Chain A
Amino acid sequence: KQEVTQIPAALSVPEGENLVLNCSFTDSAIYNLQWFRQDPGKGLTSLLLIQSSQREQTSGRLNASLDKSSGRSTLYIAASQPGDSATYLCAVSRTQGGSEKLVFGKGTKLTVNP
């Protein structure tokens, strides 16, 4: 059974700091890995999707890497801003019974202090 773990559960940093969020998964047979952002009282917004054949994806100040063999992904946020404060979730896609499903981690709550 695929399990996705995100450590730490919460992180507080001063504005301007570069930071890394971690995601690990137990089964390397995945199609892709997605990073999402969730603001309080809102739905999830997809930030980056890394296909299983890729090593990383970049969008602005965000860079996500994927190492399938070790079951790990990292989300790097450069020059953090208070507006980056949110919960960040990763999810891996897998097959079960012939259908593709996403398994989510429980998220890392990030606070960027001005």
Chain B
Amino acid sequence: NAGVTQTPKFQVLKTGQSMTLQCAQDMNHEYMSWYRQDPGMGLRLIHYSVGAGITDQGEVPNGYNVSRSTTEDFPLRLLSAAPSQTSVYFCASRRYRQSSYNSPLHFGNGTRLTVT
């Protein structure tokens, strides 16, 4: 009963480095998304996907790339890390085609990223 699994839990990067945050879900959810959570800013949507091969931008997409080659996985890539990307990143998923718009969102436990 894993749900949404995110790795790593913690990461420290230097400015300019790149990395990929991993997200996997075992609930066969079509919809997957990435959020960042910052103090005083709340949760903001970075990118989302409604199925394999389909991705779209959210509220704060700059500096991040995503791809969706399988239903289960939705990795988030930081191309060139900046201190402004220091945050806690959450992956979330839900059903999409069935009961559209009325399926609860399931979150992973987050990745705490620090960019120095």
Per-residue interface assignment for chain A, residues 15 to 57, with 1 indicating a CB less than 8 Å from any chain B CB and 0 otherwise: 0000000000000000110101000011111100101000000
Bound state CA distance, A70 and B3, in angstroms? Answer: 35
Task: Let me know if A106 and B102 touch, CB within 8 A.
Answer: no
Q: Closest Cβ of chain A: how far from B59's Cβ, in Å?
A: 8
| Contact of A43 with B110 at beta-carbon distance under 8 Å, contacts A32-B101, A49-B102 already known | yes
A31 and B103 alpha carbons, distance in the complex (Å): 11
- Say whether B101 contacts A93, CB under 8 Å: yes
Asked whether A89 lies within 8 Å of B104 as measured between CB atoms, the reply is no
Do B42 and A104 touch across chains, with their CB atoms under 8 A apart?
Answer: yes
Specify the main secondary structure of chain A where it touches its partner: strand
Number of interface residues of B (CB under 8 A): 23
**Chain A positions within 8 Å of B109 at CB level:** 41-43
Query: Is A99 interfacial (CB-CB < 8 Å)?
Result: yes
* C-alpha spacing A91/B90, complex, angstroms: 15
Given A31-B102, A34-B104, A106-B40, A42 and B56 touching (CB < 8 A)? Answer: no
Q: Is B105 a contact partner of A46 (Cβ separation < 8 A)?
A: yes
Q: Are A102 and B101 in contact (CB under 8 A)?
A: no
Choice from A31, A45, A89, A99 contacting B43 with Cβ under 8 Å: A89
B50's closest neighbor in chain A, by CB?
A: A99
Fill in one digit per residue for B11-55: 1 if any A CB lies within 8 Å of its CB, else 0. 000000000000000000000000000001111010010100000
- Which A residues are within 8 Å of any B CB, using their own CB? 31-32, 34, 36, 41-46, 49, 51, 89, 91, 93, 99-102, 104-107
